Structure 1
Amino acid sequence: MRIVACLNGDRRPGAHPALPVSPDQLTSDARAVVDAGADEIHIHPRDARGAESLEPQVLTPLMKALRAAIPGVPISVTTALSAEPDPWRRYDLVQRWGEMPDTATVNLHEPGSVEIARLLIDRRVGVEAGLATPDSARILAATGLAADVVAALVEPTQVTTKDALANASTIDAVLDRAHIELPRMLHGADDTAWPLLDAAAAAGRDLRIGLEDTMRGPDGNEVENNAALIAAALERTAPAR
């Protein structure tokens, strides 16, 4: 069971005092979460203004800095439309990436997702299929992408734990009926982050936590930083790991 540190997500700069945005902040934070026990990091690259960006001139120097800071640690990058709202421009940007991440997440409910997934696969980047709905799981099955992606990210967006778990169960059922046996990660956001992490650990799934998903610890208090979230997750799931 691996644990992925999701460092910043689409949160606005200043949403949390320790939210990493600049390249220096991201590389420092990446080193800290790996030292705290994270197996992999997931990032949303930011431009000089702090806005999400998939521009090659943003990604390339950031990737080089991260490789130097955490050699050998897998790095995952978003391709969400929050980072580039135009699906066609997103495709062009990814096509021009020079320094490639190890993996990239692709939200299959978003327009242009199948095309961007196939482009990444052609470029030898591992694709993690983001499944927020049962329909996105059906897309994974119907397009044949399941044969080439490396993992399924079951990521319900419902605000209550009960509804999020129910949606996750329905997504899992679609994957099961399609005989898709990819590694599955389960994660929530904000109020559902810790309950879904507990459910993932109990099921022996890969785990994910970080300021992208929650800014609070299991006790409900604001955490100091991403490393504190990783440490709390490892302590909480120790019997399951």
Structure 2
Amino acid sequence: MSLNGARGGAEGGAVPLSPPDLVESALAAVAAGAGEVLVHPRTPCGRESLSPRVVGPLLEAMRGAGVSVPLSVSAGIGAEPDPAGRLERVRAWTVLPDRAVVHFAEPGAEELARALLARGVAVDAVVPLGGEAEGRLAADPGAGTGAEPGAGTGAGTGAEPGPLARFLAWPVRDPARIRLAVELASADPALVAGLRWLPPVPLLLFGREAAAWPVLRLAVRCGAGARIGVGDVLHLPDGRPARSNAELVAAAREIAGAPATAGSR
């Protein structure tokens, strides 16, 4: 469940920003069935941050309040644009999240992911697919047909490798600590079919805004993990504005048709 994402207060009252609001929203979402919580920690002025003085107190507040599911932190350029700065921040953390999100479209992703794993933090490797996103499989004639991994992603063409090619070239293959989080621009089953030759790590699918609910339905049909939350979408499946993360999670569970947390991470 994406608790707040990169959103600001101007995007509505459903977006939790302060630590107390984030804690309250997380507790309600977990009560509604969320199996994980992803948060973008922020400074008092609202800027995303990976500083241990921001990340640590927030994680402690959540755990101290009884948020019992795994907690994940986004470790992207929105919080620290400089790759070396991100490494420095992560290595200085005194309180560790259970997982961290690393965007393989961003510079320094491989080294950042290794640093997190070395600290005992599991990694969600985010790869965008579809539309104009890097690493698009739909544009690859060999995708899903047994073609060599990395085809159609910039690998072997002299172009800068795309996010998927970078992930495939990354040597770490630990299903217990690595999860591939694929951001789909649309709920295209062909994109998911093209993922079948990927390394045997857990797969999570998610979309943003108009793609969020169609991709969640696709994930449920495919048996993949899924994600929803204010950080990804501000409306319910019927188009009504969501009042909270808990309301989004409850709607996701209804779509999944099961008491488990499919669609509610």
TM-score (norm. length: structure 1): 0.89
Q: How does 1:1-241 map to 2 (within 5 A)?
A: 5-132=1-128, 133-134=134-135, 135-147=162-174, 149-156=177-184, 158=185, 161=186, 165=188, 168-169=191-192, 173=194, 175-178=195-198, 180-238=199-257
Q: In structure 2, how many angstroms separate the alpha carbons of the residues matched to 1:191 and 1:168?
A: 17
> Structure 1 stretches (4+) deviating beyond 4 angstroms?
none
Per-residue CA distance 1:169-215 (angstroms, 9 max, x = gap): 3xx63x5334x111101110000000000000011111210001100
Q: In structure 1, give the amino acid aligned to 2:253.
A: L
Q: Is the 8 A contact 1:19 1:211 kept in 2?
A: yes
Asked which structure has the greater CA Rg, the reply is 2
Q: In structure 1, give the amino acid aligned to 2:200.
A: E
Q: In structure 2, how many angstroms separate the alpha carbons of the residues matched to 1:177 and 1:153?
A: 15
| SS of corresponding position for 1:186 | strand
Per-residue CA distance 1:112-156 (angstroms, 9 max, x = gap): 101100000100100111111423222122121233742110113
Structure 1: where are the runs of 5+ without partners?
none
Per-residue CA distance 1:79-108 (angstroms, 9 max, x = gap): 011111111111111110000000001001
| SS of corresponding position for 1:153 | strand
Q: In structure 1, how many angstroms separate the alpha carbons of the residues matched to 2:21 and 2:216?
A: 26
| SS of corresponding position for 2:166 | helix
What is the count of residue pairs matched by the alignment?
228
Q: In structure 1, how many angstroms separate the alpha carbons of the residues matched to 2:104 and 2:172?
A: 10
Q: In structure 2, how many angstroms separate the alpha carbons of the residues matched to 1:39 and 1:226?
A: 13
Q: Is the 8 A contact 2:27 2:67 kept in 1?
A: no
What is the percentage of aligned positions where both structures have the same residue?
37
| SS of corresponding position for 1:209 | coil
Q: 1:61 to 1:167 in 2, by over 3 A?
A: farther
Q: In structure 1, how many angstroms separate the alpha carbons of the residues matched to 2:228 and 2:203?
A: 15
- The Cα RMSD (Å) is 1.8
